[in-house]
Amino acid sequence: MKKQSARRSTHLAWSALSIVVLVAAWQVAASFSDPRLLPGPGRVGATLVAAGLDGSLFTNIGITLARVFASFVLAMTIGSAIGIALGRVVLLNRFFDPWLILFLNLPALVIIILCYIWLGLTEVAAIIAVAINKIPNVAVTLREGGRALDRDLLEMASVYRIGRWRTLRHVILPQLTPYFMGAVRSGLALVWKIVLVVELLGRGSGVGFVIGSAFQLFDVSTILAYALAFVAVIQMIEFLILQPCERRLNRWRR
């Protein structure tokens, strides 16, 4: 029966230890290889500081983050709605299953090109392209959740006629939490990766743009610096938003 804050701080200690070990492993690996090919933490750190000082790091991460955020929200909302509907209504699923498989497996490239061509090389096109890429993934995950719902509770909801909205809110959504959290986590990652491609193919700013350019010059240090900076941001989101959220949502568990 530790206190809340004590638990929080041992948790942080573990994370810190983990990161230290990771960096050490990286350092060891780097010391065995050409610094051009795998620059060590020091070198990447220096690149990071330089990019931070001239401001380009923050601008680019900021821009990318805004795109990630916008398309993530769009994709999660639409994807969850589609997934739950398909998971609950058999006929809908029968009909739309092939569509889902199509969009799930359409290469990102195809969707991105078509979006850019149709909507122009604009911010809106970029965000829609990313969202379209991600929506089927969310839908597929939540559809599984929608199928695995507890029948006892659904029956209870139907006998007590609590209505669609309350059923959704009190009976269905809480059961989907783990699926949703899974979709959020791998979704955030996926969206960010697609944003990179989208930026590579048609934006003149953002981390994807920087990484793409750095790849042309084979500047691994810059690639890693930007990638890690973004990972750090996600790590923060995980700590400050996702985990507290999850703790709250799982409070009821024995």
Partner 1 sequence: MAAMTGLEIEIDDKTYAPLASAPTRRIFDGFQLTVDPGAFVCLLGPSGIGKTTLLNMISGLDTDYSGRIEFRGEPRPRMGYVFQTPRLLPWRTVLENILLPLPSTEAARRTAVNLLTDMGMSDTQDIYPERLSLGMQRRVALARAFALEPDILLMDEPFVSLDETTADKLRDLLIEMLAQRPVTVLFVTHDSRDAIRMASRIIVLSGSPAHAVKDIQVGLSHGERLDKGAIEAFRGRFLAQSQ
Partner 2 sequence: TQTSEPLKVGSLKFGTVNWLLDTIAGDKVDVRERVRLERLELASNQATTVALQAGAVDLIVSDWFWAMRQRAEGDSLLFRPYSNALGALMVPRDKGFSSLADLKGKRLGVAGSALDKSWLLLRAFSRNKLHADLADIAEPVYGAPPLLSEQLRLGRLDGVLTFWNFAARLDAAGYQPLIDMDDVLTELGVTPSPPLVGFVWREELLRSKPDQIAAFFRAVSGANQILKTEDAAWERLRPSMSIETDAEFVRLKEYFRAGIPTPWGDAETKAAERLFGILSELGGPELVGPRTRFDPTLFWMPKG
Question: If binding is defined by CB under 8 A, does position 241 make contact with a copy of itself?
Answer: no
Q: Judge whether 64 and 127 are in contact, CB under 8 Å.
A: no
What single string gives the DSSP state of each residue in 142-190? HHHHHHT--HHHHHHHHHTT-HHHHIIIIIIHHHHHHHHHHHHHHHHHH
Q: Which residue has the tokens 């959704």?
A: 168
Among 35, 38, 162, 171, binds a copy of itself (CB under 8 A): 38
Which C-beta is closer to a copy of itself: that of 33 or that of 163?
33
Is there binding between residue 58 and a copy of itself (CB under 8 A)? no
Q: Which does residue 160 bind out of a copy of itself, partner 1, partner 2, none, counting CB within 5 to 8 angstroms by kind?
A: partner 1
Sign for the pseudo-dihedral over CA of 184, 188, 194, 198 = positive
**Interface with a copy of itself: number of residues (CB under 8 A):** 68
Torsion of CA 67, 188, 75, 99, to 10 degrees: 120
Please report whether residue 166 would count as binding partner 1 according to CB under 8 A. yes
Smaller CB separation from partner 2, 83 or 202: 202
How far does the chain reach from its first CA to its final CA, in angstroms? 14
Residue (of 71, 70, 77, 80) closest to 179 by Cα position: 80
Stretch that binds a copy of itself, among 47-55, 123-131, 165-173, 187-195 (CB under 8 A): 187-195
> Looking at beta carbons only, is 120 or 174 nearer to partner 1?
174
Q: Say which entry of partner 2, partner 1, a copy of itself, none residue 159 contacts (CB below 5 to 8 A, set by partner kind).
A: partner 1
18 vs 24: CA distance, rounded Å: 10
72 lies in the binding site for a copy of itself (CB under 8 A): no
* Residue 94 contacts partner 1 per CB under 8 A: no
Contacting residues for 77 by C-beta, under 8 A, at least 6 apart: none
The residues binding partner 2 (CB under 8 A) are: 34, 36-37, 113, 116-117, 120-121, 125, 199-205, 208-213, 215-219
**Residues engaged in binding partner 1 (CB under 8 A):** 1, 152-153, 155-156, 158-162, 166, 170-171, 174, 249, 251-254
